[in-house]
Structure 1
Amino acid sequence: MATTTHPEHDRASELRAFDETKAGVKGLVDAGITQVPHIFIRPPDMACGEDRVDISVINLGCTNAGPTHHEETVRNIGQALEKWGFLQVINHGVPETLSEEVIRGVAQRVIYNSNMALYNSVAADWRDSLFFTMGPEPPQPEELPEACREMLMEYSKHVVRLGFCLFELLSEAPGFHPNHFKDMECGKGHSIMCQYYPPCPQPELTLGVTKHSDNDFLTILLQDQIGGLQVLHENKWIDVPPIPGALLITNDWFKSVKHRVVANKKGPRVSVVCFSGHNPEPSLRLYGPIKELTSADNPPIYKETTLPNYTAHYISKGVCGTSTLPDFKL
């Protein structure tokens, strides 16, 4: 993979020129480019080559099948998040027809905000995105794009319900009361990001999304069947193949998860990500190590902080491929 150290390129000017077109990556593809512009070319990743394994698939329908099945579901979720930081869920209560409509609606968008970290990333991502703050108070319908307005509002209601269900199961995994994380207001706010990955003429030179960790309490990912998501596990990039009807869940509490999306010539690829815990309302509530899990023999290793402080630090770092959590170690 080529590097970004080419003195003949004025990166700042090229970024501004790209940004000022307001056409995004889709605009480049529509213009018929055959080579990836320099601002998208990434340095090589030091992690090992790609591999593929089966990420755990949890059937949430089991939670209504009696105490034995419920306990097994809780145990499987805890084990999956501890090992991978990722899992996929089926029978999650989000109508599959609605999921398909959301994917199609977003794919028909023609105006995108490209690369939220455009000016402070190592290289631009091969994607365009739309970001919506959906809670705690939902936006007015006219604030959302008409092409996907009704579907996003309906989808938002379903993923909020799913989020609270998952927070209950995550509370039980370490042995807490089902309302433990709910009482901490972990699901009070949420946002949705719609991402569009146009076909790339030279996918080996760039990435759809660079290596990063999320900064929310819970991430719920809806993706189409193009594929491209990878998780870093034991210094190897692991393909996370999409499963029809499944939603992918990640949680940074159990395991700091670095992931990325590779570019490809297929597509376009579309995904819709719900971030639980994103709350625009300023709050002085402190979050930190769970006191029930610490002791004199197992003292906390992270300091407490507020969500606004943590989020501001996450944004200030840019998309650098490292988790924000270690910066709060004691």
Structure 2
Amino acid sequence: MDIISNEVQETEIYNRVDDLKAFDETKLGVKGLVDQGVTKVPRIFIRPHDELVQDLNFTKVDLNIPVIDLSGIEQGHDRRMEIVEQIREASKTWGFFQVVNHEISSSLLDETIDSIRMFHEQDNETKMKFYSRDRMNMVRFESNIDLYQSRTANWRDTLTISMAYSELPPEQVPVVCRETILEYIKGTTMLCGTLLDLLSEALNLNPNYLQDMECARGRTFVCHYYPPCPEPELTLGTSKHTDPSFITLLLQDHLGGLQVRYCDQWVDVPSVTGAIVVNIGDMLQIVSNDKFKSADHRVLANHKGPRVSIASFFTGVVDPPKMYGPIKDGNTPAYRDFTVTDYLNKFFTRPIDKSGLDYFKS
């Protein structure tokens, strides 16, 4: 890629704002570009030269993130302590693992993926009614939450369903996916409770510790749609980031593309039939005082598509404000106490590829 002169770069920076606004005002997202038949990635999506060069220096490694079988997690079962140890090791080293036999049916997983695809592929007039950048809207459709803060836009559209502040009136959920996504939300909320118990034990705490802190009370579900990309080598589906949550549960379809940073390399997180991907968020890294790791991850763009995924973020108590902080276990706290509101306010005013942990180091 040729080095561009400073004069041209300045022109591009000035024009970028206009291009971002023009894209945003269509209210059709990336899928709207694909529907128009674009054969080149628009400039607002092209990654900076330094990022593209950096990726060329990464060696492809063939490693597998842990897949943990949850059958036998009942208290007193012979396998429970084995499962707790597997979760402890995965949370400490990878910050990522997949779970199977989690009691959410495979049929519901498939139906959830299909229903989110149907939302994104319905007629434009219906879908545009949900388009908004107002974070207080409990249900909203948008493309790139950090569109105006990031260095480059991502090849991705999103339906967000937020229960961060209060319970969601079911009638606000789009009809095309309402019944299925509400059932899926119930399933993931129950699974989150189970995992918080296991994570508490993995921290050598009472099984109820993280649930008693209400780590799962705030919930946000982001339903991503990654259209096929004509030049996937120039952009990303989702930029490198860590999650604004205690834990995140991710359902992904068969196309893959998710990668996690491990030992300074990008490792694929393959699609495993019937599995839910679990990753540690920034808030749990803080509360665990760095015992658990909130790992960088990203999603590649792809010629194939669309790719669909649903990320369930469990973010604790937002309102009224509640203080969270490192577990008091005799070790020096690596972070100061925080409220979820404080964390999220910082998250929504920065590019997603900038870590939120640095704001709260003690």
Band of TM-score, shorter chain: over 0.9
Q: Partner of 1:20 in structure 2?
A: 25
The CA distance in 2 between the partners of 1:164 and 1:3, in whole Å, is 51
* Equivalent residues of 2:95, 2:279 under 8 A apart: yes
Residue aligning to 1:162 = 191
Distance 1:204 1:135, change over 3 A: same
Q: Which residue of 2 aligns with 1:149?
A: 178
TM-score where L is the length of structure 2? 0.85
**C-alpha distance 135-288 of structure 1, shift in aligned 2 (>3 A):** closer
* CA distance 1:136–1:163, shift in 2 (3 Å): farther
TM-score by length of 1: 0.93
Deviation at 1:7, TM superposition (A): 4.2
1:261 maps to amino acid = V
Question: Following the alignment from structure 1 to structure 2, what is the Cα–Cα distance between the partners of residues 192 and 3?
Answer: 40
Which residue pairs with 1:52 in the alignment?
62
Distance 1:250 1:181 in 2: 15
Percent identity (aligned): 44
Cα shift readout 1:22-66 (whole Å, capped 9, x = no counterpart): 111001001100000000000243352443311101111121385
Q: Over aligned residue pairs, what C-alpha RMSD do you find?
A: 1.8
Alignment: residue pair count? 324
Residue 343 (structure 2) pairs with residue 310 (structure 1): yes
Q: Is the 8 A contact 1:74 1:169 kept in 2?
A: yes
Instruction: Quote the offset at 1:3 in angstroms.
Output: 8.3
Query: Which residues in structure 2 correspond to 1:241-280 (within 5 Å)?
Result: 241-252=270-281, 253=285, 254-277=292-315, 279-280=317-318
Equivalent residue, structure 2, for 1:31: 36
Maintained 8 Å contact 1:223/1:242 = yes
Structure 1 segments, 4+ long, off by >4 Å, are 1-5
Aligned to 1:288: 325
Say if 2:163 and 2:220, in contact at 8 Å, map to a contact too.
yes
TM-aligned CA deviation for residue 251 of structure 1: 0.8
Superposed, which structure 2 residues align to 1:1-330 within 5 Å? 6-9=9-12, 10-43=15-48, 44-45=50-51, 46=54, 48-64=58-74, 66-109=76-119, 110=122, 111=127, 112-134=141-163, 137-252=166-281, 253=285, 254-277=292-315, 279-283=317-321, 285-292=322-329, 295=330, 298-319=331-352, 321-330=353-362
Task: Note the C-alpha offset of 1:76.
Answer: 0.3
The change in CA–CA distance for 1:300 and 1:261 in structure 2 (over 3 A counts) is same
Provide the rounded CA distance (Å) in 1 between the counterparts of 2:16 and 2:113. 33
* 2:149/2:349 contact within 8 Å kept: no
- Which residue type is aligned with residue 148 of structure 2? Y
Kindly state the Cα deviation for residue 135 of structure 1 after the two structures are TM-superposed: 5.7
- Structure 1 range deviating more: 146-155 or 37-46: 37-46
C-alpha distance in structure 2 between counterparts of 1:271 and 1:38, whole Å: 25
Tell me whether 28-37 or 64-73 shows the greater mean CA deviation.
64-73
